[in-house]
Structure 1
Amino acid sequence: MAHFVKFSPGAPPYARRLTITNAKPQTVVLIHGLWFPGYILFVLGRRLRRQGFTVHAFSYPSVRADLSANAERLAGFLDTLDADTVHLVGHSLGGILIRALFHHHPRQKPGRIVTLGTPHGGSRVAQHQSRYAPWRWAMGKGVIQLLTGAPRHWTSPPREIGVICGTRSFGMGRLLVRHLPRPNDGLLTVKESAFPAAREHLALPVSHTGMLFSREVAEQVGQFLMTGKFSR
């Protein structure tokens, strides 16, 4: 069962409602998280294609490059797309990369944004593991930037943003940090996944990685991209 979670009174005034035109098919760019390759998004992408979207997956070096370098890569990729509307969907660190994109390259085509299990409020698990040098190396430059608070100084993307959080507590985070506050998705708490500037938040019974394979998540992503609202 889906649960709608209110974290803020609503999106800021500059997050204006998108007017969709029918000039070209709406394009969606999927952005993976830490450690994952682009093909982890295959199932989500296939389900969005069935909803009528043109879908691309963007891959980037999530460990060895920092957020600004990867934002430049993403901006270059988006420039190659022949589309009037480009929606962005980011899983985990991919959602932070979307915010980095608008911070460093704000002139983007119209579209909506959905983040899936993104640590907008930081990550207790990552903070805990960053005490150990091997883990700091494994998590990479982007996560270290997140933990040092760089995204807090960025202006929110001027787009309608939907946030999906998981509440199925199954994943590596529970093994690394005992007593991870609930509700959580096995890595991030719902509070950590929240983004005050988002138009809507939705909590679903999925785990951090499992949300990429959830039919309901795919349906809700498509619904928000089309209408600016999750299905109730």
Structure 2
Amino acid sequence: MKRPWWRRRWLWIIVGLPLLIWLLSVTVWTWWAEEHPAEERELRIQLHQLLQERFPEQMRLPDHRIGFVPQGGEGSAQRHPDVILIHGLDEPGDIWNDLIPELREAGVEPWEFRYPNDQAIDRSVDLLAERWSELPGDTPVVLVGHSMGGLVIRDFVTRLRHPEAASPAVEGPPVQGGILIGTPNHGSELARLRVWLGLREFVAQAQEEDFSLFAPLRSGTGAAKIDLRPGSQFLTDLNDRRWPEAIPIQLIGGMLGQPDAEIIEAVDAVSSELGEDQLPRTFETWWREVGEGLGDGVVPVSSLSLPEAPPPTLVPASHRGMLVRASPDDEIPPAIPHVLEILDEWEHP
């Protein structure tokens, strides 16, 4: 028996009205947030603080996911680190898995610094500063950062540990050098899509014993994505400060996709057929421009450079592929040999 028309109408109202309200709310919030990034950032920070105050146990990060974690093997906690590894936004925890064994084999003592990586970047830097005096000894250490981790390094060094024309605000080991891998020094538009990065971290944590419904909020409530946008106040302030001349810095970035042999042969064949000798050169220029715009798929090449640093070394890889194998049988990720070479040069100038 067919339902009366008035029941069908009420069904549409009951189901459709909440959906319409939700879509309208999302649209209004998105518009407001785009127009008021500073206010959105402050709201997200306050929300994170409120959750930490109201639910301290549920919001507390496990010990193994915050602070310094020695990675040099047995007894490494008693030795000073040669290198501190600092991960980026919404990192599930495996970004250094391929680099750490190579560092150990090269005789380098690696430690990780782990932090709530989705909070405002300056709050993560302040946490690094609070923990810095925990490092053993006063032997200089090299800081290696992936993605947003490079911004943590720059802010820590230029604002707190080695500020220009000011005394250090932090005691502890001096910084010997900085290696920034895939760091968006001028921002990344893809930071707006951080919800997908957060989902990756959420799935990774779901397999751990410390998983809870609060897990996605423990690392922050999204303030970092605002700091990562091109032209953000955080990046403007950071780029107004210069990296210290006495401390070396090196940049490594990725570029997706190089034309394979078949494409090159096809372009050469078309060039020969049409008698257009400049076609291969034009194609090469166009391909490179596209590649630089895409960069590693997250950070464009134009966002890597710093005036006080040498030009970035570019490797053919994606944002994570610079450091992480897609499968155990793959070759060593292409950024790792450059990291080892830089460390060796700094150790034996």
Q: TM-score, normalised by structure 2?
A: 0.49
Matched with 2:305 is 194
What SS does structure 2 have at the residue aligned with 1:40? coil
- TM-aligned CA deviation for residue 221 of structure 1: 0.8
Query: Structure 2 CA distance, aligned partners of 1:169 and 1:91?
Result: 20
In the TM superposition, what whole-angstrom CA distance separates every residue of 1:151-205 from its partner, at most 9, and x where no partner exists?
A: 23231332211000101259xxxxxxxxx94221111111112222213420011
Query: Structure 2 CA distance, aligned partners of 1:157 and 1:62?
Result: 23
Task: State the AA in 2 paired with 1:186.
Answer: G
Counterpart contact for 1:165–1:194, Cα < 8 Å: no
Query: Structure 2 CA distance, aligned partners of 1:139 and 1:186?
Result: 24
Q: TM-score, normalised by structure 1?
A: 0.72
Matched with 2:202 is none
Matched with 1:36 is 91
- TM-aligned CA deviation for residue 143 of structure 1: 2.6
Residue 220 of structure 1 pairs with residue 338 of structure 2: yes
Superposition pairs of residues 63-212 of structure 1, within 5 angstroms: 63=118, 65-83=119-137, 84-106=139-161, 107=168, 109-126=174-191, 129=193, 140-147=222-229, 148-154=232-238, 155-158=241-244, 159-169=247-257, 181-183=290-292, 184-212=295-323
Unaligned residue ranges in structure 1 (runs of 5+): 1-23, 171-179
- TM-aligned CA deviation for residue 217 of structure 1: 1.5
Structure 1 stretches of at least 4 aligned residues deviating more than 6 Å after TM superposition: none
What SS does structure 2 have at the residue aligned with 1:210? coil
What SS does structure 1 have at the residue aligned with 2:222? helix
Percent same amino acid among aligned pairs?
Answer: 29
CA change 1:169–1:141 in 2 (3 A) is: farther
Instruction: Please identify which structure carries the higher helix content.
Output: 2
CA change 1:143–1:156 in 2 (3 A) is: farther
Size of the aligned set, in residue pairs, is 191
Counterpart contact for 1:67–1:142, Cα < 8 Å: yes
- TM-aligned CA deviation for residue 98 of structure 1: 0.8
Q: Which segment is superposed worse, 159-168 or 105-114?
A: 105-114
Unaligned residue ranges in structure 2 (runs of 5+): 1-78, 162-167, 200-216, 259-288, 325-331
- TM-aligned CA deviation for residue 25 of structure 1: 6.9
What SS does structure 2 have at the residue aligned with 1:211? coil
Instruction: Please identify which structure carries the higher strand content.
Output: 1
Q: Which has the larger radius of gyration?
A: 2
What SS does structure 2 have at the residue aligned with 1:52? coil
